Amino acid sequence: MSAPRSPVVPAAALLALTVALAFASAAAAARHHSYSTVPAQAERADDEVRRMYAAWKSEHGRRPRAGNCDMAGDEERRLRLEVFRDNLRFIDAHNAEADAGLHSFRLGLTPFADLTLEEFRGRVLGFSGAARRAGSTRYLRRHGDQLPDAVDWRQLGAVTDVKNQEQCGGCWAFSAVAAMEGINEIVTGNLVSLSEQELIDCDSQDNGCNGGYMQNAFEFVINNGGIDTEADYPYTGTDGTCDANKLNEKVVTIDDFVNVATNNETALQEAVASQPVSVAIDAGGRVFQHYQSGIFNGICGTKLDHGVTAVGYGSEDGKDFWIVKNSWSADWGEGGYIRMARNVPSPRGKCGIAMDASYPVKYSSDNNPTARAAMTVLEMVVA
């Protein structure tokens, strides 16, 4: 039975919300004021910035850009130094605030320290948007199971080393591959690094280095009957022609994929407790670009533009986090990972992490049709 809703209730709720917001912003203003004791950052001297830039360049060994021996090259080098200087100023200011307890995470000189925010966005993202793909919604986990407080699939041996998508918007392939590597290890006991390049070259539902969807990638591998290894079909970081021979190397198979219930961090937790899960996030913010360590609770929106993989979760000092595997090399974040705030007020999750999560399903290690049919019968009996 459902009583008709009185229009008075939403109005009262709205008023309460307005009052609450007014108090919250007053509190925030007060809080900000009380931290005005954070010392203003002394500007770093020019020669110190140049030294740091030289050290950063030798560490991150950026490939020379085309045409950098001419005047345009000199111009470019000057510009890079100024972008680096500006980023360093931003990083120093954030870390001074972090030292004063205003943030739970720190920034640092990541591989993107000489890129403007616009350049960064254009270079290393590549999730095509929030168009959710059709997929099975069958839920494998039995209801009533007690969820563990913390899970780390890295420690459980189901996660390969952090990879590097380089200057290619192929994040969707890395995200999907990490989830497939995970379930394959969980089912077979073998951790096999799989080929992003096969997805970039051969999956015509997606757009290679111009972006794609993780669910399409799962669908591609299901329809192809498997995916090749990283070793046999290695990453080039560019769009290439599909290698038909390697396409036939169906080393690892999956059987299905599942969309996690949207905007529900508990549903996401259930999924991640079972296996690594592909998630889409908004990674286009400046604090995300320069993230180095800690539990990320920085500013970000929910305009999903990046595919990554949730490989665990936990809590530290009362703060819940997701363990997220990125594909920007081990030099970004915590060895290539970011811990993102979990159980945030918005049901969409931090940076939209709960908006579009999905994971591959794999029934058995020997993917023969008989075993699969038996499994299906078994499931029907259980259901």
Ligand X SMILES: *[C@@H]1O[C@H](CO)[C@@H](O)[C@H](O)[C@H]1NC(C)=O
Query: Can you tell me the distance from the alpha carbon of 32 to that of 229, in angstroms, rounded to the nearest whole number?
Result: 51
Nearest 5°: the CA angle 98, 103, 104 is 105
Two structure tokens written together for 20:
């609450």
x-marked contacts with ligand X along 202-241 as a string, rule CB under 6 A: ----------------------------------------
Q: Closer CB to ligand X, residue 117 or residue 261?
A: 261
346 binds ligand X (CB under 6 A): no
Counting Cβ atoms within 10 Å, is residue 343 exposed (0-12), middle (13-18) or buried (19+)?
A: middle
Q: Closer CB to ligand X, residue 238 or residue 262?
A: 262
Q: One of 87, 94, 95, 171 is an active-site residue; which one?
A: 171
Q: Choose the binding region for ligand X from 58-66, 264-272, 295-303, 323-331 (rule: CB under 6 A).
A: 264-272
Q: Is 103 a catalytic residue?
A: no
150 binds ligand X (CB under 6 A): no
Q: One of 202, 207, 306, 367 is an active-site residue; which one?
A: 306
Counting Cβ atoms within 10 Å, is residue 11 exposed (0-12), middle (13-18) or buried (19+)?
A: exposed
Instruction: Tell the smallest beta-carbon distance from residue 383 to ligand X (Å).
Output: 17
Q: Choose the binding region for ligand X from 33-41, 48-56, 246-254, 261-269 (rule: CB under 6 A).
A: 261-269
SS3 label, residue 108:
coil
**Which helix (H) or strand (E) segment is 315 a member of?**
strand 306-316
Instruction: Tell the smallest beta-carbon distance from residue 263 to ligand X (Å).
Output: 8
Q: Which residue has 């950098």 as its token pair?
A: 68
- Of 375, 356, 357, nearest to 365 by C-alpha is 375
264 binds ligand X (CB under 6 A): yes
Q: Choose the binding region for ligand X from 204-212, 230-238, 241-249, 258-266 (rule: CB under 6 A).
A: 258-266
Q: Closer CB to ligand X, residue 181 or residue 356?
A: 356
Give the CA-trace dihedral at 295, 301, 306, 311, to 10 degrees.
Answer: 30
261 binds ligand X (CB under 6 A): yes
Q: Choose the binding region for ligand X from 170-178, 241-249, 260-268, 276-284 (rule: CB under 6 A).
A: 260-268
Q: Is 368 a catalytic residue?
A: no
Q: Is 223 a catalytic residue?
A: no
365 binds ligand X (CB under 6 A): no
Give the CA-trace dihedral at 36, 42, 43, 49, to 10 degrees.
Answer: -120
259 binds ligand X (CB under 6 A): no
Q: Among residue numbers 268 through 287, which ones bind ligand X (CB under 6 A)?
A: 270
**In sequence order, which ranges of 139-213 are alpha helices (DSSP H)?**
171-188, 196-202
Query: Can you tell me the distance from the alpha carbon of 307 to that of 171, in angstroms, rounded to the nearest whole number?
Result: 5
Q: Closer CB to ligand X, residue 150 or residue 261?
A: 261
The single residue among 38, 251, 267, 330 that binds ligand X, judged by CB under 6 A, is 267
Counting Cβ atoms within 10 Å, is residue 199 exposed (0-12), middle (13-18) or buried (19+)?
A: buried
Alpha carbon 219 to its chain centroid, in Å, reads 20
Q: Which amino acid is at 50?
A: R
Query: Can you tell me the distance from the alpha carbon of 173 to that of 195, in angstroms, rounded to the nearest whole number?
Result: 9
The single residue among 25, 204, 266, 365 that binds ligand X, judged by CB under 6 A, is 266
Q: What is the total count of residues that contact ligand X (CB under 6 A)?
A: 5
DSSP classification of residue 252: B
315 binds ligand X (CB under 6 A): no
Q: Closer CB to ligand X, residue 5 or residue 143?
A: 143
- The number of C-alpha atoms within 13 Å of 54 and in the hemisphere containing its C-beta is 6
SS3 label, residue 356:
coil
Instruction: Tell the smallest beta-carbon distance from residue 260 to ligand X (Å).
Output: 9
Q: Choose the binding region for ligand X from 127-135, 152-160, 243-251, 259-267 (rule: CB under 6 A).
A: 259-267
Q: Closer CB to ligand X, residue 13 or residue 54?
A: 13
- Of 299, 217, 214, nearest to 252 by C-alpha is 217
Is 276:322 a contact under the CB 8 Å cutoff? no
Q: One of 87, 184, 259, 326 is an active-site residue; which one?
A: 326
Q: Closer CB to ligand X, residue 2 or residue 137?
A: 137
Q: Closer CB to ligand X, residue 260 or residue 280?
A: 260
Binding site for ligand X (CB under 6 A): 261, 264, 266-267, 270
* Residues annotated catalytic, as ranges: 171, 306, 326
